Structure 1
Amino acid sequence: MAKVTKVFISYSHDSDLHRDFVRGISDRLRTDGLECLLDQYINGFPPEGWQCWMENQIEAADFVLLVCTETYLRRYRKQETEGGRGVTFEGVVISQTLYDHYYRNSKFIPMIPTHGSLEHVPLTLKSYSTYCLPGDYDKLYRVLTGQAEYIAPPLGELRSMQAANGHAPILIHTDRLPTVKGGFFGRIAELQLLNDAWSGNTTRIIQFIAPGGTGKTKLLRHWLNHTANIPVLFEWSFYAQGSSEDKQTSATPFFSHAFAKLGSTRERFASEEDKGDHLAELLRGKRYVLVLDGLEPLQHGGAAVRGELKDKAIRQLLRQLARHPCGLCIITTRIALHELSDRDAPTVIRHDLQNLTAADGIQLLQSLGVKGSAAELGKAVREYGGHALALSLLGNVLRLRHQGDVRKRDTLKALVKATGNRDSRHAFKVMQAYAEWFAGEPELALLHLLGLFDHPIGQDVLQMLWDAQIPHLTAGIDEDEWLEAIASLREEHHLLSQHDSGGDLDCHPLIREYFGGQLQTQQPQVWQQAHERLYEYYKALPEKEFPDTLEEMQPLFSAVAHGCAAGLHQQALDEVYWPR
């Protein structure tokens, strides 16, 4: 159940008419689903006394509305020695709270009656929006319920505009990194490394190596968001095509996109290496940043060839970029690139990204609403190895289920089946708590659906699975519940991420791995039936029986993968693979 927003109203008893006006606002807010608190609802007096009651209500409320009138302002300023003292006391509490938070305010909202005046708003709150009631009721209600009147559309890509003298500026930006929510803490050395590489002309390639969930993508997103004057910027995540190291992922979509943005119309290449050379030549002489995020699907994971690139075009591209004096290529991967092992710093730098320090981990937990002593918070960070994803998941669970009490982390059960490396096991432990929490809810079904894939899924695929009404997975869940589950996992629990290139649903690869594994082991028949549906869906998707390009073949590759996952090996061979 969603948390109910609490609202407290601070006002002066100017007259019976004014009291009725305030109570009318409160009644309306309660009717509209907000837990509005008012002294008029108390029968007699509160057991703890009015002063303690007022202080407790202000502290517990998510929002405090100040009904500002001439009388209210005088009492707030302690300029009255007769009449009610409630506003005087509440003014002290409000002023002290603002002072303690360096006047960073998202809680206290001034409002005035229809014939009121802005001059009656306390000085410390004049810099914030004031609402005139009842006329501004809907605007106020949007603020209290987090429903913006206008939603900003997704950011598009920058347009290249013709200069007055006929010369077009070289400004190309493309963003295909997933959106990563949450605060950013620490990583001072890594940010300095990136700044030095970009401002200098000796470092051509940086590769950040770390296990999943360490915060590689978050680091790049933060640096890019705070770095100006990048004329040519390409950000590409290969996770969007699949995160499995054993997946036959193609770099063709990346090259096609890059060629189009750089104005190349060339379609035929003598070899894959020729394709890499062509992109390197297009970038030559330009001041660029090229981000290749999550490169491991293009690498061999076996012990004998660990880290070698499968894709010849990418391999050749990196060889050429290592010679470029103007650009910077940034790579994130779980496995160091073998092809760059013979390149020395500072031309090519390998940086092993570590887990968060204790101090940075504590900041991360606190930013998520986790409360406790420094010792307890530090102990929690150490218990979870400073793993960024695990701490983020833990912080959300503690905030939403245990009022942010860090001591309640002990209520999380030990991992039933310990799989993966040590860091991923920390994250899996919190995901296990989520699975128990969401048992029987649409949120768990949605996470299981994401676990059927190793890449983001489009709304059309999700709709197909929902229409299929698969027992114990999508059956019995109506459309509104699906939409609410998506919003809940994205906005409240921060388990879903989103790619700026579209509305595809995505989550961290470790989250897909855990919930997919749970569905496969605990409900194998459901797992099989879902993959059968996906096999039939992707098999029928191509418009041409014999597609001409690798991009047009992608649905058929997916059909084979899902068919094999469903146990339909012979059928996938006979119907999809062999005829082509």
Structure 2
Amino acid sequence: MSVHPRVFISYSHDSHVSGAHRERVLALAQALRTHGIDVDFDQFHETEIVDWPSWCRRGLGPCNAERTQGSDFVLCVCSQGYFDGIENLVPPERNKGVYWEGRLLQQRMYDDKGNGRYLPVLLDGAPLSVIPEVLRGWTRVELGRFDPDDPDYEMLLCILSGEHPVIPVELGAFPDLRRFATHQLPEHGARLGFIGRQPELAALNAAWAEAGRTRLLTLIAPGGTGKTALVLHWLAGLRDAGWGEAQRVFGWSFYSQGTAEDRQASEEPFLRAALEFFRVQLSENASAYEKGEKLAAAIARSRTLLILDGLEPLQAALGGSLRAAGVATLLQALVRNARADQPCLCVLTSRQPVIEFAADLRDAAHPLRPVQTIPLDNLSPADGALLLYRLGVQRAGQGAIAEAGAAQEAELQQASEAFKNHALTLTVLGNYLASAWHGDVRCWREVELAAAEPDFRFDADAEYGHAFKAMFAYERWLESDPRQGTKKLAVLRLLGLFDRPATPDCLRALLRAPVIDGLTEALSGIAEAEWNTLLADLRTAG
């Protein structure tokens, strides 16, 4: 501390009571001087001839430039006599000095429009009631011992010296209170890049921009059309842009539970995870209806995006009605309470329409209804051709296909149309042609031979017949390699036992002895390195 703070002490002698109070104030003044505080008060000038009113005015005022007059702080030692004198509650012949100081102090605070210098001090347990009204509400100090080890006295020294015993940490960045959870959605390989679907992406962007007016957007299409890939690509764009104005994003896929009618799909894992994510507190015996209602209310409180992918396991096979009371209640509450000032949106994908919201569906005659649907068609021939090219189908006979014109390549488009421009089927076909036929597009016709196989049980013109035809050809090609091909087929059949991504531990458990007839014979005793190579080859093949 390079400059000693100047302090003026204002107090009442309280001589009509005893001299003890006067002696305590002197002890305080001497202790402060001992500890580097330049204190001035009347007892230091009792043997001098002093113009006391002027002396008080100077002492109560701020320091001059030379720091020879005035004070940085004024300690107002409050007692009953001090209170009575300032509030003029004593006979005229008593406490004139205190009354005078009180008027000067009040005028200074009035002129300064506040208080940055006057500090009430209570000694030895004096009550708060002795603080004059003008000083009440400001910082005060209560003192018993005049020792730097005493916390109250230390605080006084810190106030007078400008030191801070508690130093605040450096101001950090405000935390991002937004919350995002999309890890329950399936992964989608980005190695090929996203192809087409510009109108659908525009529709998703428009629905999110007007979230609140649109509460539910459904993407309805058969399996393998690309519903999930579309939503994941759109989500990736939002994520790469910092999620925009979204405060909450929560995604869940029901597809892992399967789609068979006799499979017991449950909404409970979703409800449990969603209630935890949105911090909804409910009793353990809360009904599914109550969970759905409370969840909808929590979602509507902020700008929230809810993704429900592959809802069909929760729908009836005939008609598509929801068989899950909690999810049904959630969606109904979101749709029923649609408001522009609650900008949340639910994007839902399914193979079947959600018939519960037929009356809420927006159309040309009802443009303000809160439910929109995007019927997702197969790829265009040009987009299908580009997908095949990116999968490695880059030759037509001996001639190479140029990347710049791949989308318009007639033979690629013809192959795409032969398989109905179906995204999943083209993915299987492209990987098959790249692996089995060195990427020659003209060899797609070889796939048709699979239809002549006596055990080919699927109608190639049925809804998924074209997909089964491509997979059947892939299977026959793998079987033609008795060493590695049969092992790869065995791995694929193991994976087919699971209705969700299989963990390495689960697969290793199936490989343990004894051999499972018709399933793991080709993999018996396989080395770790060969096993990893098989998995890597299958990943590369898509």
- Common topology (TM > 0.5): yes
Match of 1:310 among 318, 323, 326: 323
Aligned counterparts of 2:324 and 2:374: Cα–Cα separation in 1: 23
* Aligned equivalent of 1:185, options 177, 190, 195: 195
Distance 2:310 2:193 in 1: 21
Letter in 2 for 1:446: V
The answer as to 2:538 corresponding to 1:489 is: yes
Larger radius of gyration: 2
Alignment of 1:335-350 (within 5 A): 335-345=352-362, 346-350=369-373
User: What is the aligned counterpart of 1:391 among 403, 426, 432?
Assistant: 426
Are the structure 2 counterparts of residues 435 and 168 from structure 1 closer, same or farther at C-alpha, using a change threshold of 3 Å? Answer: closer
CA contact (8 A) 2:460 2:469 kept: no
Deviations 1:171-193 (A, max 9, x none): 33332111122332111110010
User: What's the offset of the Cα at 1:425?
Assistant: 1.4
Cα shift at 1:247: 1.6
Give, in whole Å, the separation in 1 of the partners of 2:373 and 2:467: 26
Provide the TM-score with structure 2 as the length reference. 0.57
CA distance in 1, matches of 2:434, 2:384: 16
Compute the displacement of 1:267 (Å). 4.4
State the 1:451 CA deviation: 2.4
Which letter maps to 1:472? Answer: G
Is the counterpart of residue 275 in structure 1 residue 291 in structure 2? yes
1:265 to 1:488, Cα distance in 2 relative to 1, 3 A: farther
Map of 1:385-534 to 2, 5 A cutoff? 385-412=420-447, 413-415=449-451, 416-419=456-459, 422-439=462-479, 440=482, 441-468=486-513, 469-475=515-521, 476-480=524-528, 481-490=530-539, 492-494=540-542
Structure 2 partner of 1:351: 374
CA distance in 2: counterparts of 1:447 and 1:249, whole angstroms? 24
Structure 1 residues 420 and 405 mapped into 2: Cα distance closer, same or farther (>3 Å)? closer
Which amino acid letter does the alignment assign opposite residue 175 of structure 1? H
Please give the per-residue CA displacement for 1:324-357, whole angstroms capped at 9, x wherever unaligned. Answer: 4311101111110111112121510122110001
Post-superposition CA distance 1:424-461 (Å, at most 9, x none): 21111121122112225221112112222333333332
* Aligned partners of 2:210 and 2:343 also within 8 Å: no
CA distance in 2, matches of 1:215, 1:349: 18
CA distance in 2 between partners of 1:472 and 1:479 (Å): 20
CA contact (8 A) 2:293 2:330 kept: yes
Measured at CA, do residues 223 and 176 of structure 1 come closer, stay the same or move farther in structure 2, by a change above 3 Å?
same
Structure 2: 5+ residue runs without aligned partners? Answer: 1-170, 363-368, 402-408
User: Residue deviations 1:256-296, cap 9 Å, x none?
Assistant: 11122223343424421111112112212211111110100
Distance 1:394 1:430 in 2: 6
Q: Does 1:298 align with 2:314?
A: yes
How far apart, in 2, do the equivalents of 1:178 and 1:165 lie? 33
SS of match in other structure, 1:409: helix
Cα pair distance change 1:165/1:357, threshold 3 Å: closer
2-structure distance, mates of 1:234, 1:419: 39
Q: 1:315 to 1:479 in 2, by over 3 A?
A: farther
> What does residue range 141-160 of structure 1 map to in structure 2 within 5 Å?
none
What's the secondary structure of 2:183's corresponding residue?
strand
Give the distance between the partners of 2:286 and 2:420, measured in 1 at CA: 49
Cα distance, 1:421 vs structure 2 = 6.7
TM-score normalised per structure 1 = 0.54
In structure 2, C-alpha distance between the alignment counterparts of 1:421 and 1:402, rounded to whole Å? 25
Give CA deviations for 1:70-124 in whole Å, capped at 9, x if unaligned. Answer: xxxxxxxxxxxxxxxxxxxxxxxxxxxxxxxxxxxxxxxxxxxxxxxxxxxxxxx
Structure 2 distance, partners of 1:268, 1:436, is 53
Paired AA for residue 497 in structure 2: L
The alpha-carbon distance between structure 1 residues 349 and 269, as it changes in their structure 2 partners (threshold 3 A), is: farther
Helix, strand or coil: the match of 2:181?
A: strand
Report the 3-state secondary structure (helix = DSSP H, G, I; strand = E; otherwise coil) of the residue aligned with 2:464.
Answer: helix
1:207 Cα offset (Å): 0.7
Letter in 2 for 1:208: L
Matching of residue 321 in structure 1 with residue 334 in structure 2: yes
Contact 2:361–2:373 (Cα < 8 Å) also in 1: no
Structure 1 window deviating more from structure 2 (374-383 vs 435-444): it is: 435-444
* Letter of the 1:478 counterpart: I
> What 5-or-longer segments of structure 1 have no aligned partner?
1-162, 495-580
**Mapped contact 1:450–1:457 kept (Cα < 8 A):** yes
Secondary structure of the residue aligned to 1:341 is: helix
Say if 1:237 and 1:246 are closer, same or farther in 2 by CA, change over 3 A: same
The Cα offsets for residues 279-329 of structure 1, whole Å up to 9 and x where unpaired, read as 112212211111110100000002xxx101110000000011213431110
| Superposed displacement of residue 200, structure 1 | 1.3
Q: Which residue of 2 aligns with 1:223?
A: 234
Cα RMSD (Å) = 2.1
How far apart in 1 are the matches of 2:461 and 2:283? 43
Counterpart in the other structure of 2:184: 176
What amino acid is the match of 1:444? L
CA distance in 2, matches of 1:266, 1:287: 23
The correspondence of residues 235-254 of structure 1 with structure 2, limited to 5 A, is: 235-254=251-270
Shift of 1:167: 7.6
CA distance in 2, matches of 1:264, 1:484: 46
> Quick check: 1:296–1:334 contact (8 Å CA) kept in 2?
yes
Give the conservation status (yes or no) of the 8 Å contact 2:247–2:304: yes
- Contact 1:245 1:296 (8 Å CA) reproduced: no
What corresponds to 2:152 in structure 1? none
- Aligned partners of 1:321, 1:387: CA distance in 2, in Å? 33
Structure 1 contact 183–364 (Cα < 8 Å) conserved: no
What per-residue deviation string (whole Å, max 9, x for no partner) do you get for residues 447-490 of structure 1? 11222233333333222211142133213241423332222212
**Percent of aligned pairs with the same amino acid:** 39
- In 2 relative to 1, CA 421–333 (structure 1 residues): closer, same or farther, beyond 3 Å? farther
Change (3 A) 1:243 1:450: farther
Which amino acid in structure 2 is aligned with residue 255 of structure 1? Answer: L
Farther off after superposition, 250-259 or 205-214: 250-259
Structure 1 partner of 2:348: 331
1:482-526 per-position Cα deviation (integer Å, ceiling 9, x unaligned): 332222212x111xxxxxxxxxxxxxxxxxxxxxxxxxxxxxxxx
1:198 aligns with 2:208: yes
| Residues in 2 aligned to 1:168 and 1:407: alpha-carbon distance in whole angstroms | 54
Counterpart of 1:179 in 2: which secondary structure?
A: coil
Alignment check: 8 A CA contact 1:442 1:477 kept: no
8 Å CA contact 2:436, 2:477 repeated in 1: no
